[in-house]
Every structure is written in C-alpha cells, then in structure tokens.
Amino acid sequence: MKKRVFDIIQIGKKGDIPSIAFDYALTGNIVLNILVLVLETFDGLSARARAFRAVEVATTLFFCVEYLLRLWTADLLHRARNPLVSRLRFVFSFDGLVALFSILPVFFFRGVVAFRMLRVVRILHLFRLNAKYDSFNVITSVMREKSRQILSSLFIIAVLMVAGSICMYNAEHAAQPEVFRNAFSGLWWSVSTTLTIGYGDIYPVTPAGTVLAIFLAFLGVGAVAIPTGIIGAGFVEKFTRAENAVKRFHDVSAIGEIRVAEGSELARKTIDDLRRSYGMTVYLVVRGDLSVLAESNLVVRPGDILIVKSDHLAKPSA
C-alpha cells in the first residue's frame, strides 16, 4: 500500500490515472493558493476576505495531507537503514521545507508579520511542478556545470563595483558631502550604474565624476554580459548534447537483425559478398556467445545473427 501511495504522489507516469489525477489536483491547488495570496492584497476585494480565507485553508489542508503522505513514504525516496533518517532527509530537503513553511503560517503566527511573510514561500511550490522535467533540470545542470565561470565573472563585477565606489567617493565627496558621505554611498551608485538600474538618486556633478561614470557604465554593460554569455553558451551546449543523443537513438532504431537459417542464400558468403550482392551494410555478427566484427572477408555461417541497417531486412530471404 505504501509503495502504491508513493507512486501516486510522485510525478505521474503515462497511463497511471490516479497518479496523473493527483498531479492535476496538486497543480490546481498550488495555482489557486497563489491566486488567493495575490487577490488578498487588493483593497477592493476586502469584502471577499472570508471566502479567500476558506479557499486558503482548504488548499492548505490538501498540502497538509500531501506532506504527511510524503513523510510516510520518505523511506522509499530517501533510502536509509533507519526510517527516521529517511524522514529527516525529507523534512530538511527543498520540497520538505517548502511544504512545511507553506503550511505553518495558516495555522500559527497569523498575527505576526514576520511569519505571515512565510506565506510567500508557497510560490516556491511552482518549482516543485517543474523539478522533475527537462526544462528545470537543464537550468540547474547548466548553473552547476558553469558555476566556476559564473563565480569568476561575478567576482570581476564585484571588484569593478568596489573600485568604482572608491573612485567616485574621492571624486565627488568634496562637491556632494551629503550625498557621497562614505564609500558605501559610492557603492550604491556603483551597483545601480554597473547593473544598469539607474535610479538617479545619486549621480556625479563634477567633471571627473562624470567621466568616471561614463567609463564605469560602459564597463558595466560588458561585465554584466559575461555571466549572461556563459549561461547562454551553457544552454546551447546542453541542448546540442541532447540533440546528438536523440540522433544516436534514432540511429539505433534504424538497426535490425537477420538470423541466418540453414540453407539460406546468405550462408557461406563473405561480408563483402553481401555488400556487393545486396547492398547490405553489416555492422556486427553475433555467433553463439561471441560478437564478431563484420570484416570484409568474414564468412557467414548458418545460425549467425547479422546486425544490419533496417532497410535491408526485407531484401534477402534469410
């Protein structure tokens, strides 16, 4: 029974109706829960507060049941000698923490602002919907594979911002002491300029500061483009590998086998004879427990299995 419940609450398999139905129900609850979270912020809908509260509690109860079922079947997901260890692994996993922090604010700490903000964690449920599919896996794998390059580029950006903040402080402090009070004020300007936010609350007025701002703005565009290019190249590389894997799979699907029977016209011919007579491409010859490379002078024997291109299967009568 536990194994069946585990199969149902995991991402649905094709043909498993209860599991697919559970996935749809989970998706609907997540979307409805987040929709209520957004609609509650509109003052014009304050009259619907009780209805929103009812929907919130109902959807959260669904999450509670799901959480308990996942906690019960955690030993099938996180293999360990002790079931308690498996359950602790689930509790402190991403899914477990998101589910727990989504449930708690509904039943406890509702009047405390800090805990009410935990309701925003429900949005992370959306990641759970996509966590088992290729789109999410591609993103995480690219970030993991390119982590060193990304960290190096972020380090360059950090150095650039710190250098810009110190230089801007020295250039502007005398002219704007109330604006550029210290290097930290210059750091805020440097961040907003390098990352092209451009709030405009802090800006240079001296000629030296203006020239420095122009220089840093151009450097910022190039520096921010570095991690973007790394991630983009990682996506292209990942999808290229995936396409090549699909092509190899199609190549395998284009391969078939011919069993050479006693008295077959293929028997006692060489691989080169088969190629000339039938245009047949033989990749491998399986002979008993042996796999023999299809060299041109190899003689085919009765009982051999020829691994050939599938478009040659129907040509000779084996």
Question: Mean of the pLDDT values across residues 60-89?
Answer: 84
- The answer to whether 148 and 155 have CB atoms below 8 angstroms apart is no
> For residue 259, is pLDDT > 70?
yes
Exposure string of 228-244, with b = 16+ CB inside 10 Å and e = fewer, is eebbeebeeebeeeeee
pLDDT cut 70: percent of the chain above it: 79
Question: Mean of the pLDDT values across residues 274-302?
Answer: 85
Strand spans (E) along 82-241 = none
| Per-residue pLDDT band at 121 (split at 50, 70, 90) | low
The pTM of the full predicted model, rounded to 2 decimals, is 0.50
Give dist(CA 130, CA 84) in Å, integer.
Answer: 28
- The answer to whether 267 and 288 have CB atoms below 8 angstroms apart is no
Strand spans (E) along the chain = 255-259, 282-287, 290-293, 305-309
Domain coordinates in residue numbering, the chain = 2-132, 145-249, 254-312
| Per-residue pLDDT band at 284 (split at 50, 70, 90) | confident
| Per-residue pLDDT band at 60 (split at 50, 70, 90) | confident
Question: Mean of the pLDDT values across residues 39-56?
Answer: 85
pLDDT at 262: 78
> For residue 316, is pLDDT > 60?
no
> For residue 253, is pLDDT > 60?
no
Closest CA to 11 of 122, 21, 19, 98: 19
254-312, superfamily in CATH? Regulator of K+ conductance, C-terminal domain (3.30.70.1450)
Question: Mean of the pLDDT values across residues 161-172?
Answer: 86
Q: Among the listed ranges 12-21, 85-94, 225-234, which one has the minimum average pLDDT value?
A: 12-21
Question: Mean of the pLDDT values across residues 291-299?
Answer: 87
pLDDT cut 90: percent of the chain above it: 1
- The answer to whether 33 and 103 have CB atoms below 8 angstroms apart is no
| Per-residue pLDDT band at 107 (split at 50, 70, 90) | low
Closest CA to 170 of 194, 189, 154, 191: 189
Torsion of CA 201, 207, 209, 212, to 10 degrees: 120
Give rounded-to-5 percent helix, strand, coil for the chain.
Answer: 65, 5, 25
- The answer to whether 314 and 258 have CB atoms below 8 angstroms apart is no
Q: Distances in Å between the alpha carbon of 213 and those of 169, 196, 217?
A: 12, 12, 6
pLDDT at 249: 47
Higher pLDDT, 84 or 135: 84
> For residue 49, is pLDDT > 60?
yes
Give dist(CA 166, CA 170) in Å, integer.
Answer: 6
- The answer to whether 37 and 57 have CB atoms below 8 angstroms apart is no
Give dist(CA 71, CA 59) in Å, integer.
Answer: 18
Q: What is the mean pLDDT of the chain?
A: 78
Determine the residue type at 233. A
| Per-residue pLDDT band at 162 (split at 50, 70, 90) | confident
| Per-residue pLDDT band at 41 (split at 50, 70, 90) | confident
> For residue 300, is pLDDT > 80?
yes
What tokens appear for 219 in the block? 């450097």
> For residue 129, is pLDDT > 60?
no
Closest CA to 195 of 217, 180, 210: 217
In CATH terms, the fold of domain 2-132 is Four Helix Bundle (Hemerythrin (Met), subunit A) (1.20.120)
Pick the CATH number of 145-249 from 3.40.50.1100, 1.10.287.70, 1.20.1530.20, 3.60.20.10: 1.10.287.70
Q: Distances in Å between the alpha carbon of 82 and those of 1, 72, 115, 230?
A: 20, 13, 33, 43
Q: Distances in Å between the alpha carbon of 4 and those of 10, 24, 280, 296?
A: 10, 18, 49, 54
Dihedral sign computed on CA atoms, order 90, 92, 93, 98: positive
H-type alpha helices, 254-310: 271-278
| Per-residue pLDDT band at 125 (split at 50, 70, 90) | low
pLDDT at 109: 52
Helix (H, G, I), strand (E, B) or coil at 81: coil
DSSP state of 287: E
According to DSSP, the β-strands at 290-293 and 282-287 are antiparallel
Give dist(CA 40, CA 106) in Å, integer.
Answer: 14
Give dist(CA 289, CA 302) in Å, integer.
Answer: 15
Question: Mean of the pLDDT values across residues 208-229?
Answer: 83
pLDDT for 222-247, tens place per residue? 777 888 888 888 888 877 776 665 55
